Amino acid sequence: MSKIAVIIVSWNCRESLSRCLKSLKEYGPPGLEIIVVDNASADGTGQEIPLRFPDIHFLPQEKNLGFAAANNIGASDTKADYLFFLNPDTFIKPRAIEILQDFMEKTPKCALAAPTLLDDKGNILHSIFKFPSLWNYWTEHSIFLPLRERLKKLFLRKDSPFTPDFTPCEIDWATGAAFLVRRNALEGESVFDERYFMYSEDADLCKRLAERGWKRYLLPDAQVVHSHRQSSIQARASTIFHLFHSMTIYYVKYKGPAGNFFLRLSIFTDMLLRIIILKIIPRKSASEENRERLQGYKSVLSTLSPFRRDRGSGDV
């Protein structure tokens, strides 16, 4: 039995998934266990992938269960000591998995190790974050994000993950596009909280591990290329809604009703600003992409309003 199982959740991304699986075959360790949970893709994934990669364990679902639930299905299908969660729109660099595993085995208090994520041009992607807060909302997710990106070019970020010698560093949480999890750190629980359909389930996992005293690390020498959000752009309005809705679930869970109210107030203000900008700049609202953005912002604005009576539940 392999000590590591790779778990991939796919949804209408056949070509990206194929590239990902090829990289695992070429650069992964020998005898690697690979599990693909397909969320009812309609692009031929269920017919083509099992034929092209007959040695993987392919688990087709009858409907789109979301990221968290589908990953849990994959995790329950293996007895491996380590679970490597990987997005289908990624491909691994040589020895990435071995570097992560070696570090985990030498660092018994590490429950989660994340590789460095690169874009298709080899640029480093921002993939690690501080635990969610209102400040982080405005700097990491809001309409002011482009301003932050410009400032990053002028000032060194205090939370920069990379030391001059590229040594591993301890982190709060890493994006679920790629990371390795120690199974026994889960203490028999599901890996992800299935109240999250997509987004924030990775932050939630890392928060749970932190509360139990487990450490999480970024390993700069382990590298994975991520063609960012290839699946999510297929349903942009829905993606926007789930991104912000997932934040409210996290806030109810860890910050209580008051924290959730102020988060929703921040989201409400942010969505208003985004809608106003799209409305006053005609060319911005004309494209199909921005029409979908506008639909998503309006959905968030109406559903996640802080003035709704159900705001404390975190469920919509």
Asked if 109 and 61 sit in the same domain, the reply is yes
Q: How far apart are CA 102 and CA 92, in angstroms?
A: 16
Of the three residues 226, 258, 287, the one that is the final residue of a domain is: 226
For the segment 254-267, the average pLDDT, to the nearest whole number, is 95
Asked if 178 and 205 sit in the same domain, the reply is yes
Band of pLDDT at residue 232, cut at 50, 70 and 90: low
Domains in the chain, number: 2
The answer to whether residue 117 is domain-embedded is yes
pLDDT in tens, 2-55: 799 999 999 999 999 999 999 999 999 998 999 999 999 999 999 999 999 999
Task: Identify which of 198, 182, 196 has the alpha carbon closest to the alpha carbon of residue 253.
Answer: 196
Of the three residues 193, 226, 259, the one that is the final residue of a domain is: 226
Asked if 291 and 216 sit in the same domain, the reply is no
Instruction: Determine how β-strand 178-182 pairs with β-strand 110-118.
Output: antiparallel
The answer to whether residue 263 is domain-embedded is yes
The answer to whether residue 313 is domain-embedded is no
* CATH code: domain of residue 53: 3.90.550.10
The answer to whether residue 314 is domain-embedded is no
Asked if 215 and 188 sit in the same domain, the reply is yes
217 has pLDDT over 70: yes
Residue ranges making up the domain that contains 103 = 4-226
pLDDT in tens, 56-71: 999 999 999 999 999 9
The answer to whether residue 116 is domain-embedded is yes
Asked if 60 and 186 sit in the same domain, the reply is yes
255 has pLDDT over 50: yes
Q: And the tokens for 294?
A: 């506008």
Q: What are phi and psi of 245, to 5 degrees?
A: -60, -40
- pLDDT of amino acid 164: 44
pLDDT in tens, 144-165: 876 665 555 555 444 455 544 5
Asked if 238 and 99 sit in the same domain, the reply is no
Q: How far apart are CA 267 and CA 244, in angstroms?
A: 8
Of the three residues 194, 226, 258, the one that is the final residue of a domain is: 226
Residue 257 makes CB contacts below 8 A (sequence gap 6+) with: 311, 312
Mean pLDDT lowest among 75-79, 252-256, 298-302: 298-302
Asked if 240 and 120 sit in the same domain, the reply is no
Asked if 12 and 157 sit in the same domain, the reply is yes
The answer to whether residue 48 is domain-embedded is yes
Angle of helix 201-211 versus helix 236-280 axis, rounded to 10 = 110
Asked if 101 and 182 sit in the same domain, the reply is yes
Asked if 194 and 270 sit in the same domain, the reply is no
Asked if 166 and 265 sit in the same domain, the reply is no
pLDDT in tens, 103-147: 999 999 999 999 999 999 999 998 999 999 999 999 888 888 766
The answer to whether residue 54 is domain-embedded is yes
pLDDT in tens, 178-212: 999 999 999 889 999 999 999 999 999 999 999 99
Asked if 36 and 60 sit in the same domain, the reply is yes
The answer to whether residue 61 is domain-embedded is yes
